[in-house]
A and B are shown apart, each in its own frame.
Chain A
């Protein structure tokens, strides 16, 4: 691998990792606040992309960037208010189940409204084309835009959580909900806002991820499992852990796709020739780019064996 493809893979990996962070940050916020693992989180990502696809045809992309997350926020908040709150008293497993049901429902609704095949959600003119060219390889503007939006969002969350009144209430409600309630804050409403906010972040990721990648009903499933890996690897409920894990997994996946080496070529370095008759040939001939889809999950298993609380997690269990 030479320097220019390394640079480009690095940048692509970073932008993908930052997109993963936009998704996993909402998931982490919801989880650390309410103890609810939102199984439908990636579905909100998908819904955000589809809504932006529809609204961008009417009001243009830049307004959709604002409107679509707001609509997803309303959906998330309504779901929390009318469904999740009802099962809260039954415990965490039913809460997970109700979001699992929602993921089915959203997928079917999206297919009902927008059809079962991919929609043609294109980049706006301002984001088409390369931002710059390194040694003849392009780095697209849309990827840079993803990086910009997610870093802005990261700064925004940080400011909101540490510098505003509502942020301080949220932080306090994380650890001491009863005390916060006793001080006269409406904790259920804070929960509703946090759930809606997390969903809105996923929706925002959908708005910019949908046209950079592809907008189709399978997009929730493909990214959903990865963000759960991110959350576990980073440490349940740790926002900085989620950040680190998102970048790591984004980079691992992007670099793995670019690598064409296999165990066979490694052994060839040691003058050991592998033929189809060698024991374990199917395993030895697999290239790293072929195993790329399973790398995040292997990473998850390794982390669980060697560091069960996650990279930056604090709680065990």
Chain B
């Protein structure tokens, strides 16, 4: 193994301080830069989804545990948080709103202790199926106990219950955003710190080679169980924040669909790096709010991207960024940018053609009453006209053909650059 080529100032790791300060500044400054209420909603959602996705990555990325039921812990956290808020609002007991996420966290922890005992008995594929089963169990139960889960309508609450402290009533969205931001920062830091603890390290070992871990005297089942509990705790905090943010919790938050989208976007963001899920959470918000407005077929696009990501870039977007950072660190990015440009242009052409066809089919399916015409990227398409189909097909075929050509070109170029970098690393080692 080559030594890592970054500078490490001792006793302080300046790079790390810089990154975390930037992260904090970003959280503080984001609502000042984007002032619209839509942006604020998106930022608030992104804040708690970052926590949930990062907690999911403790399982997926750090523990190699593919869970299909992570929304259960976030969702139950939401429910208990919402009940706590309602009780506090009625005056049964007093708990400040800023501590409600901890209620969510503790309930996430409690249910993770309870269900995790069964689920973490196994690893790998069986673990995945059991989490799916437990997820379905909780979701089916949520419809069975309308007293607790609120049935179809869900449970509503009012977050501005207590007396304002220092003028903060948590009524306005901006105050809620900063509450979420503070929790987001602390939880991100805590989860990063977790990766550096002995438990976090041995969890990585359990992921990579459980047999050896058993031989050096650890109980892999217990390691998985502890990690599962910690992930449940952080997911619950995220769920509590979600309840505060939207003031309504429906049974849908514990559903398998929600768990599935957590898995999808955490993976897309990148499970192999700590910061990957943060990107994933951002994408999730964009997909939920913007993409679903833009196109009926957004899940189809997301599914396709996911499939290609699993096949060609299993490290997600984060790994793509890190690979290019490495290339940039060796000053080779300049040689590649023409290739990138070519790839982007041809891929865009192919996607435009495919998307036009998909949109036409959807238009025929759902909006037939509006007539056969639809607008697509500034062009009028006629879904019943053969010319539109031939045009879209032609664009798709041309794009695909050119993309394949540039891809092959790029691949040789890329491997040349990687070879050069390997040689450079060897050369530096000899110095």
Contacts and interface: CB of A to CB of B under 8 A. Distances in A.
Interface of A: 31, 35, 37, 83, 86-87, 90, 92-94, 96-98, 100-102, 104-105, 107-109, 111-113, 115-116, 221, 225, 228-229, 231-232, 236, 282-283, 286, 290-291, 293-294, 296-298, 300-301, 304-305, 308, 317
A236 B128 CA distance: 13
Contacts of B314: 87, 90, 94
Nearest to A300: B133
Interface stretch (B12-20, B175-183, B295-303, B379-387): B295-303
A98 B300 CA distance: 14
Given A37-B129, A112-B300, 20 more contacts: A86-B311, A87-B311, A90-B314, A93-B64, A105-B307, A108-B303, A112-B297, A115-B366, A231-B129, A232-B126, A232-B129, A282-B147, A293-B140, A294-B136, A297-B140, A301-B118, A301-B134, A308-B121, A317-B122, A317-B126
A165 to B, nearest CB: 30
A83 B308 CA distance: 9
Contacts of A301: 118, 133-134, 137
Nearest to A104: B303
B66 interface: yes
A232 B124 contact: no
A228 B132 contact: yes
A115 B365 CA distance: 6
Contacts of B134: 297, 301
B302 to A, nearest CB: 7
B304 interface: yes
17 contacts: A37-B125, A87-B310, A90-B314, A93-B124, A96-B128, A97-B306, A100-B263, A101-B307, A104-B299, A104-B302, A116-B365, A236-B125, A282-B145, A283-B145, A294-B136, A301-B118, A317-B122
B338 interface: no
A102 B310 CA distance: 11
B123 A294 contact: no
B137 A298 contact: yes
Nearest to B306: A101
A298 B145 CA distance: 16
A290 B140 CA distance: 10
B133 A229 contact: yes
A225 B307 CA distance: 21
B125 A225 contact: no
B79 interface: no
Interface string B67-108: 000000000000000000000000000000000000000000
